[in-house]
Structure 1
Amino acid sequence: MKTPGNISILLVDDDIDDQEIFLLTIQDTGTNVACDFACDGIQALQKLGEPAYKPNLIFIDINMPKMNGMELLAELKQNPRLDGTPIYMYSTSDQREIVTRCMELGASGFMKKSPDIEELRRDFINVIDKRTAI
């Protein structure tokens, strides 16, 4: 599933419902954003291995099969083609140890999957605003 837009985002998340919530919330920001999805770290690496594919922002869930979010983050931070691409962790778990470890691995930030859609929308707007200010 991919949507058209000026800012391209890759969400790596194995939960289809979370992908849908992400897409609807991003669309509700009023920003022209294209969303693409990968269901696990392996699929994300395949997409990001395509020479013509380079999203403006990447969001990664932590708990996924095959390759978890922290393993994927570590892999992506070693890819020079993605230098300068903000990578945000996006998870239901925001335990301090997990957030700290993600930041040590090079995450640009951490967003909690909030049940409050308005809060989630504000968080996305902040991330997109940071990206478009660059």
Structure 2
Amino acid sequence: MIFLVDDDVDDQEIFLLTMQDTGADVECEFACDGIQALEKLGGDSYQPHLIFIDINMPKMNGMELLVELKQNPRLVKTPIYMYSTSDQKEIVTKCMELGASGFMKKSPDINELRRDFSQLIDSRMAS
């Protein structure tokens, strides 16, 4: 199970299609903002294998959500990746300091995005 928190429905669809294109047998779930993500992740039965968080969202931005999720003992071992159009060094550094497992830039190039996701999923499945 892969969980994406992103307020842009088009980005959610691109994410889903890209994940399906990787050939990995993964199921995707979505939340439109940090508040909805906290509600979905608050139950004991919901345990994603990977979480991706967009940085720029209404109500609660991605970095605020990352901080909240890192305080949840049930999610301590769940890899959380920031997923954003902005990959400015300061932003990436701040996300890593807050506990992100990594950072993936949203690419307009579907082939590049598919390759990046494939590599990430392969490395996660191997570990």
Query: What interval of TM-score do these two structures reach, taking the shorter chain for normalisation?
Result: over 0.9
**Partner Cα distance (2:76, 2:119) in 1:** 21
After TM superposition, the structure 1 = structure 2 runs for residues 89-128 of structure 1, keeping only pairs within 5 Å, are 89-128=82-121
Residue 87 (structure 1) shift: 0.3
Does residue 13 of the first structure (1) align with residue 36 of the second (2)?
A: no
What SS class does the counterpart of residue 10 from structure 1 fall into?
A: strand
**Partner Cα distance (2:113, 2:66) in 1:** 22
CA RMSD in angstroms, aligned pairs only? 0.5
- 1:87 maps to what in 2? 80
Structure 2 residue runs without a partner (length 5+): none
- 2:18 maps to what in 1? 25
- 2:67 maps to what in 1? 74
Aligned length: 127
Give the alignment's TM-score, normalised by structure 2. Answer: 0.98
AA of the residue aligned to 2:77: G
What SS class does the counterpart of residue 97 from structure 1 fall into?
A: helix
- 1:4 maps to what in 2? none
1:57-94 superposed Cα distances (whole Å, 9 cap, x missing partner):
00000000000000000111111100111000000000
**Partner Cα distance (2:122, 2:67) in 1:** 25
